[in-house]
C-alpha cells in the first residue's frame, strides 16, 4: 500500500469521536428516565464500536490470509462474487501485484459477413486546424476489440513470414527481473486464450475452436488459411478456482506466436513493476514499420516514448499516461488512433515474383511478400538491421517522392487489462492507404492538407514532414480544388466525425 493510501485508510478507521467516553455528563438532578435513556445510548454506541472493531479485524485477517496464500507477485485467490467480478480488490494493490479476478465478457454480436466481404475500416484520424497532443483515448465496445477484414490473408502471410525469419526480433518474452518486474509468461498464455475465445465468437465463419469439457479452448482453426493451432493449457490450475499455474518459457512463446497469428494486430504486453511503472515485458511486434521491438523491449512506458523523442511527451502525456495505466480497469477497454505518411518504392522498383515455398522463410524475401513495407519502412528508414534508434531517418537511397509512392499509415490501438495476470495488452493494427485513393474521398484531401499544415514544428519533424511535404500538399490541394469545382465547397467537411 502506498503511503498516501495508508493515511487515507488510517483517517477513515480512527476511533469515532462519538464514543461513550466523549458524552458530556448529565446534570445530577435529571429524571430517572433520562438516565435510563442515556444508558441505552451508551450500550448502543458500545455495540457499534465493537462491530466496527470486529469488521476491521475480519478485513485485516482476510487480507493477511490472502497475502500468505498468494504467489509473490501475481496473487492467487479463490474470491468470487461481485467484488471479484469488478476487480475492485486490486484498487489498493502493492505495485507489481495483482489478484486474479473473474471476468465475464459482456455479450457481443457475431459478425455474420464473410471475411472476403469485410472491408478495412476507413479510419482517417486527422482533424481540421490546430494539432493538439493528447492521449486521445476513447471508450471501446467489447465487440470492437479486434477488427478483422479481407486483408487478413495478406497480413497473415507477412506476419507468419516475419515470425519465421526474424525470430526474437519480432517475438520476445523477457524473464522475471526480481525486485523490478515479473515476466509476461502468464500474460502470454492468457492472451492466447482470450483472443481465441474472442475471435471464435466474433468471427465464427473464419475461426472455429475445439474445447474441453469445461469450455477451455484446446485447438484453433483459421479456415481461410487452413491453419490448425494447439493452445497451451489454460492459465488456471482448476477452472472453478482463480489459482494460476506455473508457465514455462517455451509454452509462453508458443502462446505468443499463436496470438500473433490469430489477428492482424501487433501485440505488446505491459507489466506493472514494483515502482508502479509499466514495462514492455513481451509481445509480438511483427509489422511496426517505424520502430523495432529490439530497441524498446524491457523499457518502461516513459522511456519507450522519450527514447523515440515523441514530441511533447514529457510536457503533455507522461503524467496522464502513467496515471491512466495504473487505473485501467478490467472492464473498461479503450481505443485510440494515430497517423503518419509513409514513402514507399515506385511500383516499377518493387520486387516481383513469388515467395519460394520449398525453403524456410528468409529475411531477404521480405520485400517480395511485403512490397508496401507494412513490416518495415525501408524506403524511409533504410535497412531494418542498420537502423539507429533515436536518430533522424537515414534512408539507404534518396527516396523517390511522387503521389503514387505516398501512403497514409494509420494505427488503431487498443488497451485492455487482462483479468487473471493483470497485464495490460496494447494492440496495434496498422492500415496502409495509397494517397491516390485518399485523393478521391469527399473532403479528405482538404482536411488532410489542413492537418499537415497545422503540425507544430516538433510533430512535423517526428513525422518526417520535410521528406514529402511539398509533393503531398500539392497533390492534396489539387484534389481538394477539383472536389470544390465538381461538388461545391468542401472546406470543413467533417466526414462521419473523428476518427473517420
Ligand atoms: C494510451 C496509451 C498511449 C499513448 C497515448 C501513446 C502515445 C504515443 C504518441 C503520441 C506517440 C507518437 C506517435 C503517435 O502520434 O502516435 C507514440 C509513439 C510510440 N508509442 Fe505510444 N502511446 C501509448 C501507449 C503505448 C504503449 C503501451 C506502447 C508499448 C509498446 C507504446 C509504444 C510506442 C512506440 C514504440 C512509439 C514509437 C516511438 C518511436 O518513434 O521511437 N505506446 N505513442
Give 426-453 pLDDT, tens digit per residue: 999 999 999 999 999 999 999 999 999 9
Residue 216: predicted pLDDT: 95
DSSP 418: -
Residue 351: predicted pLDDT: 87
| Distance from residue 13's CA to the centre of ligand 1 (Å) | 41
Q: Which atom of ligand 1 is nearest to the CA of 390?
A: 41
Exposure of 241 by Cβ count < 10 A (0-12 exposed, 13-18 middle, 19+ buried)? Answer: middle
For residue 489, name the pLDDT band (cuts at 50, 70, 90): low
Cell numbers representing residue 242 in the block: 482463480
Largest CA distance in the chain: 109
Q: Which atom of ligand 1 is nearest to the CA of 411?
A: 16
To test ligand 1's pocket by mutation, which of 269, 290, 298, 305 has the most ligand atoms within 8 angstroms of CB? 305
Residue 37: predicted pLDDT: 40
pTM assigned to the model = 0.84
| Distance from residue 305's CA to the centre of ligand 1 (Å) | 6
* Alpha helices (H) in 290-336, listed in sequence order: 293-296, 301-307, 318-327
Q: Which residues line ligand 1 (CB under 6 A)?
A: 135, 137, 268, 270, 280, 291, 296, 301, 304-305, 308, 310, 317, 321, 336, 338, 415, 426
For the chain, give the mean pLDDT: 85
By C-alpha distance, which of 125, 195, 152 is closest to 410? 125
| Distance from residue 390's CA to the centre of ligand 1 (Å) | 14
What's the pLDDT tens digit per position in 301-335? 999 999 999 999 999 999 999 999 999 999 999 99
| Distance from residue 218's CA to the centre of ligand 1 (Å) | 34
For the chain, percent of residues with pLDDT exceeding 90: 72
Under DSSP, is residue 208 helix (H, G, I), strand (E, B) or coil? Answer: strand
To test ligand 1's pocket by mutation, which of 123, 137, 267, 310 has the most ligand atoms within 8 angstroms of CB? 310
Nearest protein Cα to ligand 1, atom 19: 305
Q: Which atom of ligand 1 is nearest to the CA of 135?
A: 5
Show contacts of 195-199: CB within 8 Å, 24+ apart: 195/146, 195/259, 195/262, 195/263, 196/220, 196/231, 196/258, 196/262, 197/105, 198/105, 198/145, 198/146, 199/146, 199/148, 199/262, 199/263
Residue 19, pLDDT above cutoff 70: no
Amino acid at each position: 500500500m502506498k503511503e498516501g493510501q495508508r493515511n487515507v485508510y488510517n483517517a477513515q478507521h480512527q476511533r469515532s469521536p462519538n464514543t461513550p467516553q466523549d458524552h458530556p455528563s448529565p446534570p445530577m438532578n435529571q429524571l430517572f428516565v433520562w438516565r435510563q435513556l442515556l444508558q441505552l445510548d451508551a450500550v448502543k454506541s458500545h455495540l457499534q464500536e465493537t462491530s466496527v472493531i470486529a469488521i476491521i479485524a475480519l478485513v485485516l485477517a482476510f487480507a493477511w490470509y490472502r497475502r500468505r496464500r498468494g504467489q509473490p507477485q501475481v496473487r492467487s485467490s479463490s474470491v468470487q462474487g461481485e467484488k471479484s467480478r469488478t476487480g475492485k480488490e486490486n484498487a489498493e494493490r502493492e505495485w507489481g501485484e495483482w489478484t486474479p479476478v473473474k471476468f465475464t465478457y459482456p455479450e457481443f454480436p457475431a459478425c455474420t459477413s464473410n471475411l472476403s466481404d469485410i472491408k478495412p475500416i476507413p479510419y482517417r484520424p486527422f482533424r481540421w486546424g490546430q494539432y493538439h497532443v493528447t492521449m486521445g483515448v476513447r471508450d471501446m465496445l467489447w465487440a470492437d476489440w479486434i477488427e478483422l477484414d479481407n486483408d487478413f490473408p495478406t497480413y497473415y502471410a507477412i506476419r507468419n513470414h516475419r515470425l519465421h525469419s526474424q525470430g526474437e526480433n519480432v517475438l520476445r518474452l523477457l524473464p522475471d527481473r526480481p525486485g523490478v518486474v515479473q515476466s509476461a509468461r502468464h500474460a502470454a498464455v492468457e492472451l492466447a486464450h482470450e483472443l481465441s475465445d474472442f475471435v471464435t465468437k466474433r468471427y465464427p465463419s473464419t475461426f472455429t475452436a475445439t474445447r474441453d469439457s469445461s469450455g477451455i479452448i484446446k485447438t484453433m482453426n483459421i479456415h481461410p488459411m487452413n491453419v490448425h493451432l494447439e493452445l497451451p493449457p489454460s492459465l488456471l490450475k482448476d477452472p472453478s478456482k482463480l489459482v494460476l499455474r506455473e508457465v514455462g518459457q517455451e509454452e509462453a512463446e508458443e502462446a505468443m506466436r499463436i496470438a500473433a497469428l490469430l489477428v492482424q494486430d501487433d501485440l505488446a504486453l505491459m507489466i506493472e513493476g514494483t515502482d508502479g511503472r509499466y514495462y514492455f515485458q513481451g509481445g509480438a511486434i511483427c509489422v511496426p514499420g517505424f520502430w523495432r521491438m529490439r530497441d524498446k523491449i524491457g523499457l518502461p512506458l516513459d522511456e519507450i516514448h522519450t527514447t523515440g523523442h515523441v514530441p511533447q511527451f514529457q510536457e503533455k502525456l507522461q503524467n496522464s499516461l502513467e496515471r491512466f495505466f495504473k487505473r485501467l480497469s478490467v472492464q473498461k477497454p479503450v481505443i485510440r488512433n494515430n497517423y503518419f505518411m509513409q514513402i514507399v518504392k515506385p511500383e516499377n522498383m518493387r520486387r516481383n515474383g513469388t515467395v519460394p515455398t520449398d525453403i524456410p522463410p528468409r529475411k531477404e524475401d521480405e520485400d517480395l511478400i511485403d512490397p508496401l513495407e507494412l513490416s518495415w519502412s525501408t524506403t524511409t528508414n533504410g535497412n531494418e538491421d542498420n537502423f539507429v534508434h533515436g536518430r533522424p531517418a537515414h534512408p539507404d537511397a534518396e527516396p523517390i517522392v511522387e503521389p503514387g509512392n505516398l501512403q497514409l499509415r494509420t494505427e488503431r490501438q487498443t488497451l485492455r487489462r487482462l483479468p487473471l495476470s493483470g497485464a495490460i495488452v496494447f494492440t496495434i493494427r496498422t492500415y496502409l492507404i495509397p494517397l491516390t485513393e485518399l485523393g478521391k474521398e469527399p473532403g479528405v484531401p482538404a482536411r488532410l492538407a489542413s492537418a499537415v499544415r497545422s503540425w507544430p514544428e516538433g510533430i512535423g519533424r517526428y513525422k518526417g514532414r520535410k521528406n514529402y511535404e511539398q509533393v503531398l500538399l500539392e497533390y492534396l490541394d489539387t484534389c481538394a480544388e477539383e472536389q470544390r469545382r465538381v461538388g461545391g465547397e468542401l472546406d470543413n467537411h467533417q466526414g462521419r466525425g473523428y476518427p473517420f
